[in-house]
Structure 1
Amino acid sequence: MPRRPIVPNKQAILSACLLVVCSLLLIFTCVHVTFVVGSSSSSGGNGTLREWLGDLNEQAARLQSTALKLQVAIAVLSNSNNTESILTIRSAQLKKITQALNLINQEIVIVNSACSNYDGPDCNIPICDSKCLNCSSPGKCVSCSGNWTGPSCSIPVCDSKCLNCTSPGNCSVCSGNWNGTTCSTCKSGWTGTNCVNQTAILTSAQMTRFSNEILNMPNSFTKLLFKASRDGFAGDKFHSKCDNKGATVVIVKAQSGAIFGGYTSVSWNVQNSGYVSDKSAFLFSLVSSTGVERFAKLPQQYSDFYKSGKTNGEYATYQVSGLGPTFGGGHDLFISNNCNSNSLSTSNLCASYCDATMSVSSTTANAYLAGTKNFQVEDYEVYNL
């Protein structure tokens, strides 16, 4: 009687296969860990630091690959019967490999940090800043390039005319009467080799024409009481130089290039604290904002547009401490405190000073003197007549 063939048990076959696979993994893991430990201990003494870093990265990659394979094996074993002992071994191996991988990754971070800002095979050549020619370590320069100084070559060497610069050749504060980013030009109102000679807003020819045509007083510019670019743009500086001096002429130059001003026969005096009457006061425009000379006189009107019932001249000037020279009830011409650094100065003609072609608050009246209603002052002067 023929014998029945023996049918293999499927579960037994699966267990046998897993045993073989896991045995191979165990052999591979032991060999791999031995290689990693051996190469890690030997790389530190041979080759360069960057080669060592390369070895560490390779070891980390191998351990990561082994850990992934063990995770797959553990997942398979977890779903099989009678594999508890093998599962325990593989879990222990995965734990050790994970610990080894963490240690190597920490070592990689340390080596990368040591090589940060350093060059060369052994990370011993400091990388210098672009402004540094030679440095002993990152951020510590021995010799700087160009016009830079300091341990990190971050301090610009300023020109002798410059008090403070943001970079070589880019000055923010010039000394004396120098101006510009390189302190190579004179401030407005100054000239000469060292910018020590003052210049007037008007040329000699313009002064002569102004005296003859507007003031009807030939050779009337006898004494310069105040020059803002020299004495300061604060309103109190103006009053400290010009109060109680009698008749004066104020000549203003706006940043637009326009030149204009006003005349009063009554002394400036902050003690008056308010409007001051002067029937002989007037405003004038000498040069427009487009550069055209016009030498026009703007007298007071007999009807006050803002203050009805008042007679002509009662709002000739407005005198208050802290403000620059101010004319009219509008105000027709107002020079603000620190007028060179703001646009608070205004021209609002036809409140008290006007001509027949203008009307109060019109575009023409507002823009006639400086080109715009609000303006910034480049310089202004006050002369005693």
Structure 2
Amino acid sequence: MKFLFISAALACTCSLAAAQGSTGLLDPFREAQLESWLGAGNQNFTEIFSATRGASSLDFHAAADGKGATFALLQVSDPAGASWLVGAYNPQSWSSTDGWHLTPTDAERTAFVFNLTDSVVYRQVPTTYMFPSQGLHQTYNASKVGPVFGSGADLYVNDKLDTAFSWQLSYGDPADEGKSIIDRSLGAQLFHIDAFQMYTLSPVPELPAPAMFAAGLGLFALLRRKRGV
């Protein structure tokens, strides 16, 4: 696949900037956008990994493997200083040994990559396209790389977790093949990763009807007391 040839260029990348603790990549507005794209209702986002200086793909896999569905968020920048917040949703658990996770049916093609800065989402190419296998490669799972989506790769993180690139192929409009989801340029421009976090997610439980009714009565009573009724 094309990303296997491009990845050799990542050997000369610079080191990851220090990131101690949470860097605040998610806020309520961004969470709401991710929930909207996911289409599964309100979610709890739990941070399971935040890259620090010297972190590697082994640290990423130690934190994310076997944890179920995850969001990856990357704050990236180019040499001119322009910055973007991009990422991807993986409905399957990560693994350091599985290789490609293939999705032959549309029902399995539920992963997506996105650019939060531009509010754009790119979903796996469906089987109805003239080349049904174009959206087949959902993620690549190996110990020597970070999260990798699509065979372009549509979003690629290197082993040092300090460099990303995007070469659109398995996600989005097939007419945009070769474009970057980061800055929409053609080719595989390298971007520095300024911050990288992983999140698991779980549905926010809804209150049963009696509990909702009781909460409403309690709020009504509180308002009456405040008004002196």
TM-score (norm 2): 0.66
What letter corresponds to residue 378 of structure 1 in structure 2?
Answer: D
Q: Retained in 2: the 8 A contact 1:210–1:295?
A: no
Judged with a 3 Å threshold, the aligned counterparts in structure 2 of structure 1 residues 300 and 321 are, in CA distance, closer, same or farther, namely: same
Equivalent residue for 1:325? 147
Amino acid at match of 1:269: S
Pairwise CA distance, 1:210: 2.7
Structure 1 ranges of 4+ moved more than 3 A? 187-190, 308-313
Of the three residues 329, 346, 359, the one matched with 2:176 is 359
**1:377 maps to which residue?**
193
Alignment correspondent of 1:347 = 166
Partner of 1:270: 96
Tell me how far apart the structure 2 counterparts of residues 284 and 332 of structure 1 sit (CA, whole Å). 10
Instruction: Work out whether 1:284 is the aligned partner of 2:114.
Output: yes
User: CA separation of 1:303/1:310 partners in 2, compared to 1, >3 Å: closer, same or farther?
Assistant: closer
Give 1:252's aligned residue: 74
Deviations 1:269-311 (A, max 9, x none): 1221234434111111101xxxxxx321111113699xx9654
Q: Is the 8 Å Cα contact of residues 124 and 170 (structure 2) preserved in structure 1?
A: yes
Q: Does the CA contact (< 8 Å) of 2:75 and 2:193 recur in 1?
A: yes
Structure with the higher fraction of residues in helix conformation? 1
Q: Which amino acid aligns with 2:125?
A: Q
The 3-state SS of whatever aligns with 2:83 is: coil
1:225 aligns with 2:52: no
Structure 1's 188 and 236: CA in aligned 2 closer, same or farther, altered over 3 A?
A: closer
**Alpha-carbon distance in 2 for matches of 1:249, 1:377:** 16
Deviations 1:51-84 (A, max 9, x none): xxxxxxxxxxxxxxxxxxxxxxxxxxxxxxxxxx
> 2:136–2:170: 8 Å Cα contact kept in structure 1?
no
The answer for unaligned runs of 5 or more in structure 1 is 1-178, 180-186, 191-197, 288-293
Deviation at 1:233, TM superposition (A): 3.3
User: What secondary structure is seen at the aligned counterpart in 2 of 1:274?
Assistant: strand
- The residue type paired with residue 282 of structure 1 is F
Secondary structure at the residue paired with 1:237? helix
CA 1:209–1:237 in structure 2 vs 1: closer, same or farther (change >3 Å)?
same
Between 1 and 2, higher relative CO (CA 8 Å, sep ≥ 6) is seen in: 2
Q: Following TM superposition, by how much is the alpha carbon of 1:222 offset from its aligned partner in structure 2, in angstroms? A: 3.0
Q: SS of the counterpart of 1:238?
A: helix
The whole-number CA distance in structure 2 between the counterparts of 1:297 and 1:370 is: 13
Checking the alignment, whether the CA contact within 8 Å between 2:19 and 2:50 is kept in structure 1 is no
Report how far residue 253 of structure 1 moved: 0.8
Is the contact between residue 109 and residue 126 of structure 2 (CA under 8 Å) also seen in structure 1? no
Q: Does residue 206 of the first structure (1) align with residue 24 of the second (2)?
A: no
**CA displacement at 1:313 relative to structure 2:** 4.5
Aligned residues: 174
Write the letter of the residue equivalent to 1:237: D
Using the TM superposition, give the Cα deviation of residue 203 of structure 1 relative to its aligned residue in structure 2, in angstroms: 2.6
The answer to whether 1:237 aligns with 2:59 is yes
Instruction: Return closer, same or farther for 1:203/1:336 CA change in 2, 3 Å cut-off.
Output: same
Do the aligned partners of residues 224 and 276 (structure 1) sit closer, same or farther apart at CA in structure 2, a change above 3 Å counting?
Answer: farther
Q: Name the structure 1 match of 2:226.
A: none
Report if the CA contact (8 A) 1:304-1:312 is conserved. no
Residue 165 of structure 2 aligns to which amino acid in structure 1? Answer: T
| CA–CA distance in structure 2, aligned partners of residues 216 and 347 of structure 1 | 25
Identity %: 24
SS of residue matched to 1:271 = coil
**Which amino acid is the alignment partner of residue 359 of structure 1?**
D
Distance apart, 1:312 and its partner CA: 6.0
Alignment of 1:122-133 (within 5 A): none
Offset, 1:228: 1.1
The correspondence for 1:315, drawn from 115, 132, 137, is 137
Secondary structure of the corresponding residue to residue 214 of structure 1: helix
CA contact (8 A) 1:253 1:380 kept: yes
- The 3-state SS of whatever aligns with 2:52 is helix
- Residue 250 of structure 1 deviates from its aligned partner by 0.8
C-alpha distance in 2 between matches for 1:304 and 1:352:
13
Unaligned runs of 5+ in 2: 1-16, 202-229
